[in-house]
Amino acid sequence: MEAEAETCHPRPRRSLALSLWTAMMVVALILGNALLAKPSLADEIMTPRKQVPSAFSGWLDEDVGPFPGVVAPEGTYEGKDVEQPIEFPHDLHTATNKINCLYCHTYARRSAVAGIPPTSKCMGCHSIIATDRPRIKQLTEYWDKGQSPPWKKVHDLPDYVRFTHERHLKKFLFDNPDMTVERVDEVCALCHGDVTKMTVAKKQKPLTMGFCTRCHQANGGTFDCQKCHK
Amino acid sequence: MSKSEFDRRDFLKVMGVSGVAATVAGCDMPSYITSEEGAEEVIPYLSPEEYVIPGVGVWYASTCLQCPAGCGIRGRVREGRVLKLEGNPTMSLNSGKLCQMGQSALQSHYNPDRLTTPLMRKDGALAEATWEDALALMEEKTGPSSGISGHRFAWYTGSVSGHQNVLLKAHLEAMGSSNHFVHEVINTRVWQAVCKEMLGQSMPTLRIDKAGLVLSFGADFLGTWMSPIQFSAQYAAFRSGDERGMLIQAEPSMSLTGANADLWVAVRPGTEGIMALGLANVLIHKERMDASVLPPETQELIARYNVSITSRITGIAGDRLIRIARHLKNRSPSLVLAGGPAAGHTTGFEAVQAAMMLNILLGNVGETIEANADFAFPQLAALGGGTTDLNRFAHAAGSGQLDALFFDGSNPLFGAPDHMNLNEKFDAIPFKVAFSTFMDETTARADVVLPIASAIEDWGTHVAAYQNEQHEIAFQQPLMEPIHPLTRSFGDLLLALNAMRSPGTYDEIDDYYGYLQSALGAIPGVLKGEDAAEDDPLDIQLWNQILQDGRLEVPAETSLFTTSVSIKDITSPPTDEAFPYYLVPTPRSSLYDGRHANLPWLQEAPDQISKVVWTSWAEIHPVTASKLGLEEGDLIRITSASGVLEVPVYIFKGIHTDVVCVPMGQGHTEYGRYAKGRGVNPLKILDPGEDTRTGELALYGTRVGLAAAGRAGRMVKMGNTESQHGRKIVATITAEQQRRNEGES
Ligand code: SF4
């Protein structure tokens, strides 16, 4: 469906997308940043959106998002500091050591869930790397007891929502000719914020229905109710 | 949605502590739901298997043990939990289909009332015990030094087949006993006995799909009779061929199959055989069919049942009999089946014989009834249960012939009529061990209770009693690890018992899984090449293929029919002033014989006929209701010579006016929170009586008196009206139009 729409009506789609994008920016400016920063769930759901015509589905040709081929979803969120059993430094792994997100969250490309890495994966490195650090000693203690650390969930959606990491990575990364897998952190950042600058992960995007639908509208995602609420 | 991954073992440990409710709901731990940050834990696998991807289900093949039909299943497993069952498309028995009872096996597995620890009777009550103590007591009472031997020891099971049967037999042999009672309330033993006598083989292949007309005397082949899933597929083909097949069902109260029939005939209970003789009479004397296939005595017997006599005895109008006979002749090949109520009388054998005689007269044998083969491995073949064994057991227990009893997969104290006094007889057996998953009526009276794995957690091989032309062994494999760490595999226990009695025999074998592998390895050409030496290693790829398919094809060499007809006259039930009505305790494809009463999905599923949920009801005809002054939901008192029941009535026309039908399944006094104290058990008030040829209980031969109890009952029913209120939800025609279609003027 999407591919068909793209080949048949490329130009009208792009111009409509751009005008919608402009319109959204205007609305955003008028309403002000505060509203977007702390939206209530009701506001999010009620955010006006037009029915997306079928021609409007597919990729933008220009670099209007944070990376080629995507319009970033609107909205930010001031998440809580979550106390984890071990204070896991995302920045150290991703920014300093340049480990790809998908190395640890390996299921994201194959499943609905990204998956917390199995403890065996942590130990794959940390049975030899940084074994003298306090946090690694903590981890090793769990491992020796045959347990995984009881991590706290930071990002979650209600059970009536079916979100799939696999589908989103396919669209934004693997089917996107202008992206490379090395830049996957930019794709993750759309919903998880810039993890390369965090230690323990913190929720930075509202992950509400409004947030999802704005992104779907801007990027030609589905508006079929039962795709997400099945 | 789930974002958590668990180490399977860790997960199961957690589940053991926190109960099963969260698992049933399919949500993550903890069981409350929030998307708040930091509120829920998300515990990763410690060290996952290569193929495990959280959030992605994997399907594994196994076998359905919810009824003896033995269909193949596939279970979707995700994060170590089985979430959904479907039919296994590679099984020729059910080709990918599964009934609602099969679907509900999940609830049996995740049921909060599962037995989780061994129990031993102390000071009169069952108390938690260790496996060591339980097995030590079993060794003391039944081990080599116990002094027990011979027929004073017995096994009591439901239908059993495959390697479980081999090990049961080995244990009995080691004990020196041949006492194996195999109990199944819903069975086809009478049909099998008739087929054996008249065709020379007990389980011929039935081809509903090849028939132009099916006439079924009470055989609910779409619901509970023999192999309902396979027959449903055949039925679909039968109905959708170039010429739509015609289904005629004759029975005292409407079954699921009856509800699908083109013509449903209310027949007086116990006269189905006479109806068959009457039809033969019309075929021979009015339709001029060649009767030379029947011996002269049979022809003479048939000649006695002319239309008016048959009509008087069966209560079926003469012109209707004539029309049915005409259809039988014109829509050849037809297929005549008989079971359930037709077989459940003291003259059940003769009634089924008369039905089979019709098949022979109509030339159906060889057309819609095809010759089959004996199962190539007789030691694995199904040991189908019956009620004869219940009777035999009651007698053995009552006369003090048993010192020790092991039982598994059967609940005789629920299925036994009160007149047998089985509770007392059972209690008199000095040592009774239950191998159970639930605290049912029989388990509650055992001296030792061993909690066994659910069907979804265990290994096994199964051979369905009814095989089509493609014979197969169905494989049962665990779809997940045991929820409760103290439960044990039934196969492992059988091995342990055998090792106890015959030390050394199974030394080489670690567990039942290993036993199955080596047992199959011993069959040439299955897990090794045809010419392999005994100690050649098993081809593990072949083993994996079998597990992936969930089945192993077995060659079947068809043997020829040896037809013989020698049928006896059928005495119709006498009139009874004190008990003018007949009690018909039909099974339904939901609670079945009561074994599924602890599964809320099936309690909640509206009955196929009455749409009642969660309780018992009595079906009566509107004429009977008005005679008794009853309205729907009123309590009716049903009195037999053996007991009384009170139950709300459901009034509808799909029942003979002399009949009250109370479906079996409810009326449990034990069996967990969903079953206990709900409805009534019609089996309890059955009168003594058995089929004179097979010894099967005459389940449908009980006479009762009916009266209004004078109170309203409580009965919840879906769709509270029988009328469509003019909305044409289902297209209907008038009875008059239907009669015209049938050829009536
Ligand atoms: S017919 Fe019996 S074996 Fe087959 S799916 Fe239903 S319950 Fe299971």
Distance from CA of B18 to the nearest CA of A (A): 16
Range scoring the smallest mean pLDDT among A134-138, B22-26, B128-132, B367-371: B22-26
Last residue of a domain, one of B348, B370, B392: B370
Supply the pLDDT for residue A33: 35
Beta-carbon separation of A153 and B27 below 8 A: no
Q: Would B362 be classed as within a structural domain?
A: yes
Asked if the Cβ–Cβ distance from A120 to B48 is below 8 Å, we say yes
- Neighbouring CB atoms inside 10 A of A34's CB total 8
Angle formed by the axes of helices B348-361 and B189-199, nearest 10°: 50
User: Rounded to an integer, what distance in angstroms lies between the CA atom of residue A139 and that of residue A135?
Assistant: 6
Q: How far apart are alpha carbons B277 and B283 in whole angstroms? A: 10
- CB-based contact A120 B46, cutoff 8 Å: yes
The CB density around residue B477, as the number of other CB atoms within 10 Å, is 20
Per-residue exposure over B141-166, b if at least 16 CB sit within 10 Å of its own CB, e if not = bbbeebebeeebbbbbbbbbbbbbbb
User: Does the pLDDT at position B439 exceed 50?
Assistant: yes
Six token digits for residue B631: 């309205």
Per residue in B604-635, pLDDT tens?
Answer: 999 999 999 999 999 999 999 999 999 999 99
pLDDT of B672 strictly over 90:
yes
**Cβ–Cβ under 8 Å, residues B201 and B557:** no
Q: Which pLDDT tens digit goes with each residue over B450-462?
A: 999 999 999 999 9
Predicted local distance difference test score (pLDDT) of residue B537:
81
Of B303, B291, B312, B268, whose CA–CA distance to B357 is shortest?
Answer: B291
Cα–ligand 1 centroid distance for A1 (angstroms): 41
| Residue that wins the pLDDT comparison between B559 and B345 | B345
| A60-69, B383-392, B410-419: least confidently modelled range | A60-69
> Which chain A residues are within 8 Å of B10, Cβ to Cβ?
147-148
**B88 CA to middle of ligand 1, Å?**
12
ipTM of the complex: 0.72
Distance (Å) from CA B55 to ligand 1 centroid:
29
CB nearest to B46's CB, from A114, A146, A157: A146
Taken in order B281, B286, B291, B297, is the CA torsion positive or negative? positive
Cα–Cα distance for residue pair B127/B539, rounded to 1 Å: 46
Under the phi-then-psi rule, with left for phi > 0, alpha for psi from -120 to 50, and beta for the rest, what region is B292?
Answer: alpha
Measured on CA atoms in the order A157, B32, B484, A116, is the torsion positive or negative?
positive
pLDDT of residue A214: 93
CA distance A204 to chain B (A): 11
Distance A177 CA to ligand 1 centre (A): 51
Does the C-beta of B99 come closer than 6 Å to ligand 1? yes
Residues of A in CB contact (< 8 Å) with B are 79-80, 82-83, 107, 110-120, 143, 146-159, 161-163, 202-203, 207
Which atom of ligand 1 is least distant from the CA of B229? 1
What's B590's domain CATH number? 2.40.40.20
B/e letters for B36-60, b = 16+ CB within 10 Å, e = fewer, are ebbebbbbbbbebeeebbbbeeeeb
Atom of ligand 1 nearest to the CA of B227: 1
Would residue B442 count as lying in a domain? no
pLDDT at B568: 87
Tell me the torsion sign for CA atoms B157, B160, B165, B167: negative
Give me the amino acid identity at A34. A
DSSP B571: P
Q: Is the CB of B228 under 6 A from ligand 1?
A: yes
Is the shortest distance between the CB of B64 and ligand 1 below 6 Å?
Answer: yes
State the pLDDT at residue B455. 97
Q: What is the mean pLDDT of residues B31-47?
A: 80
pLDDT band at B505 (very low <50, low <70, confident <90, very high): confident
Q: Which two tokens stand for residue A219?
A: 């990027």
DSSP collapsed to 3 states, B404-430 = EEEEECCCHHHHCCHHHCHHHHHHCCC
User: For position B723, what pLDDT does the model report?
Assistant: 79
Structure tokens at B402: 């048993």
Q: Can you say how many angstroms the Cα of residue B393 is from the centroid of all Cα atoms in its chain?
A: 20
Selection from B374, B383, B444 nearest residue B172 by Cα: B383
- Cα B511 to Cα B492: distance, rounded to the nearest angstrom: 6
Q: What are phi and psi of B725, to 5 degrees?
A: 50, 45
The 10 Å Cβ neighbour count of residue B332 is 15
Q: What is the pLDDT of residue A56?
A: 35
Query: Which residues of chain B neighbour A167 with C-beta distances below 8 Å?
Result: none
Count of structural domains within chain B: 2
Specify whether the CB–CB gap between B657 and B729 falls below 8 A: no
Confidence at residue B5, expressed as pLDDT on a 0 to 100 scale: 37
Confidence of residue A68 (pLDDT cuts 50, 70, 90): confident
Please give the Cα distance from B212 to B368 (Å, whole number): 9
Domain CATH code at residue B365: 3.40.228.10
Does A120 sit within 8 Å of B47, measured CB to CB?
yes
Instruction: Please indicate, yes or no, if residue B70 is contained in any of the structural domains.
Output: no
Does B66 sit in the ligand 1 pocket, CB within 6 Å? yes
Is B567 a domain residue? Answer: no
How far apart CA B101 and CA B551 sit, in angstroms, is 21
Query: Which of B311, B341, B370 is the endpoint of a domain?
Result: B370
- Name the pLDDT band for B742 (thresholds 50, 70, 90): low
Of A147, A150, A159, which is closest to B41 when you measure between CB atoms?
A150
DSSP 8-state class, residue A200: S
Q: Which residues contact B384 (CB under 8 A, 6 or more apart)?
A: B68, B159, B182, B184, B187, B188, B189, B192, B465
Does A67 or A45 have the greater pLDDT score?
A: A67
pLDDT value for A10: 29
Domain membership of residue B399 (yes or no) is no
The answer to whether B647 and B636 have CB atoms below 8 angstroms apart is: yes
In the structure, what pLDDT confidence band is assigned to residue B25 with cuts at 50, 70 and 90?
A: very low
Q: For the residues of B180-247, what is the DSSP string, one character each?
A: EEEB-SS--HHHHHHHHHHHS-SSPEE-GGG-SEEEEES--TTTTSS-HHHHHHHHHHHHHSSS--EE
Average pLDDT over residues B226-230: 96
Share of chain B above pLDDT 70, in %: 95
Closest CA to B414 of B674, B684, B686, B68: B684
- Give chain B's end-to-end CA distance (angstroms, integer): 62
Strands (E), B222-346: 246-251, 263-266, 334-338
pTM for this entry: 0.84
If one compares B730 and B603, the residue with the highest pLDDT of the two is B603
Q: Which of B370, B393, B419 is the last residue of a domain?
A: B370
pLDDT bucket at A18, cuts 50 / 70 / 90 = very low
DSSP code, position B573: P
What is the SS3 assignment for A67? coil
Tell me which of A105, A159, A162 to substitute to probe the interface with B (most B C-beta atoms closer than 10 Å): A159
Q: Which residue has the tokens 């309780």?
A: B615
Q: What are phi and psi of B619, to 5 degrees?
A: -90, 130
Taking alpha carbons only, the member of B174, B265, B185 closest to residue B218 is B265
Half-sphere exposure of B619 (CA within 13 A, CB side): 23
Domain that holds residue B216: 190-370
pLDDT averaged over every residue in chain B: 91
Encoded tokens for B77: 């497993």
Q: Taking all residues of chain A, what is their mean pLDDT, rounded to a whole number? A: 77
Q: Strand B471-476 and strand B551-554: pairing?
A: antiparallel
Tell if the CB–CB gap between A161 and B1 is shorter than 8 Å: yes
Query: What pLDDT is stored for residue B33 in this prediction?
Result: 52
Question: Is residue A207 a contact partner of residue A40, using CB atoms and an 8 Å limit?
Answer: no
Of A82, A112, A163, the CB nearest to B37: A82
- Closest residue CA from atom 4 of ligand 1: B71
Q: How far, in Å, is the centroid of ligand 1 from the Cα of B223?
A: 10
Nearest CA among A211, A218, A209 for reference residue A172: A218
Q: Cα(B68) to centroid of ligand 1, in Å? A: 7
In a domain, residue B594? The reply is yes
B43: closest chain A residue by CA: A150
pLDDT, tens only, B76-125: 999 889 999 999 999 999 999 999 999 999 999 999 999 999 999 999 99
Q: In B429-527, where does DSSP find H-type helix?
A: 490-501, 512-521
Give, in degrees to the nearest 5, the angle at Cα B395 between B392 and B400.
130
Chains A, B: CB contacts within 8 A come to 107
What confidence category does residue B731 fall into, taking pLDDT thresholds of 50, 70 and 90?
A: confident
Contacts of A144 (CB under 8 A, 6+ apart): none
Average pLDDT of span B31-46: 79
Confidence of residue B743 (pLDDT cuts 50, 70, 90): low
User: Which residue in A146, A150, A156 is closest to B43 by CB distance?
Assistant: A150
CA distance B209 to A96: 70
